[in-house]
Structure 1
């Protein structure tokens, strides 16, 4: 699936919003990808995750030692894509969730050394993936890679493991103290699922 096909699905679901948004990273942007609007529709989610599963298969080809035991999604954004991608790959899906502000693997016992592949919806700075890597390493897992539907970092996100992205869609974002005048003139909204970071 090409990037434009992914964006067409987001547009079909009304999930590409324009305005002044505060991202989870704390940065500001004139474009917000409201993936929850896509995940409302099982058929659209299935299309995206089937294509992502195929990219994961390509990445893992010939790497028998890296075949994951689980796919892991960071709550909340990664829950649905991790579940559906796991279904496409015939693997179990588990998730990490916040406990006192930090991701933890709370509900699922895993064996030491279990191989996991993290699935996220959208990567901007990579913070959620990095936090998921840390949580899973604390749980004794080996991180094979991470995957996302959309990488909007322009290749700048540092997550410490290989990143498989279905589509790359770089959208400019700005520090709060360095906004373009047109963006600064608009009221800002914070549509994400957690408070914006100060980083």
Structure 2
């Protein structure tokens, strides 16, 4: 992942994490882990969709996003912003508005009737497109959207998300193999650092979450208990 290495970038990551904690878009629950549909248990949970309901928070995060994009992608290197269905659409709209760029959105699948379109909006062939989504876990959905955009004759070299898990390096590698750089405002590591600094998490809770972030595939509540003991 392309992460800003400057103090400004680190400060943006910290403020992003603090905002997401404040609006409860990210949650830590090491003592009562979340269970996902896949059966995996996790002491952390993120729902960036909550951002849309908090005007001041979303304005700040979108300002950060535009600053990161200009710094890491360029000022005149993008012709269009594409939002991924569905969570990426509002963020793409706000970023496109701020950057003065056209916007389209990409469906997960062609809609199956009418034009059978997978990309909605006007997208000229040869456009340099920035894909926007709310978050990235292992990067799989990004590749599907990138493939659809490239089949439409566009160039896609960058994708932006508000939040990146930052614990599945193979996902970033898969994007890089396809010529796509991932840009994000914050990761779980940033969130954990802020949670510890603010006292949101303490002691054994911090260690339990850290253990998960270091090895999410093997983490279980029993692992947490062992780390606590």
TM (norm. structure 1) is 0.77
Q: Deviations over 1:22-60 (max 9, x none)?
A: 27x875422111112222112211111111111110123
Tell me the SS of whatever aligns to 2:161: strand
Q: Deviations over 1:77-116 (max 9, x none)?
A: 11111111112211122111133699x6332232211110
Counterpart among 78, 89, 99 of residue 79 in structure 1 = 89
| Residue pairs, 1:1-199, within 5 angstroms | 1-17=11-27, 18=29, 19-22=33-36, 27-61=40-74, 64=76, 67-99=77-109, 105-154=118-167, 156=169, 157-158=171-172, 159=175, 160=178, 161-170=180-189, 172=213, 174-175=216-217, 178-182=218-222
Q: Are residues 101 and 7 of structure 1, via their aligned partners in 2, closer, same or farther at CA, if it must alter by over 3 Å?
A: farther
Distance 2:104 2:155 in 1: 14
Q: Is the Cα–Cα contact under 8 Å of residues 81 and 132 in structure 2 kept in the other structure?
A: yes
Tell me the SS of whatever aligns to 1:2: helix
Q: Is the Cα–Cα contact under 8 Å of residues 105 and 139 in structure 1 kept in the other structure?
A: no
Bigger RCO of structures 1 and 2 (CA < 8 A, at least 6 apart): 1
Report the structure, 1 or 2, having the larger helix content: 2
Tell me the SS of whatever aligns to 1:116: strand
Q: CA RMSD in A?
A: 2.8
- 1:197 aligns with none
1:142, distance to aligned residue in structure 2 (A):
0.5
Tell me the SS of whatever aligns to 1:11: helix
Distance 2:81 2:216 in 1: 32
Distance 2:104 2:121 in 1: 7
The structure that has the greater radius of gyration is 2
Report the structure, 1 or 2, having the larger strand content: 1
1:181, distance to aligned residue in structure 2 (A):
3.7
* Structure 1 residue ranges without an equivalent (≥5): 185-199
TM (norm. structure 2) is 0.67
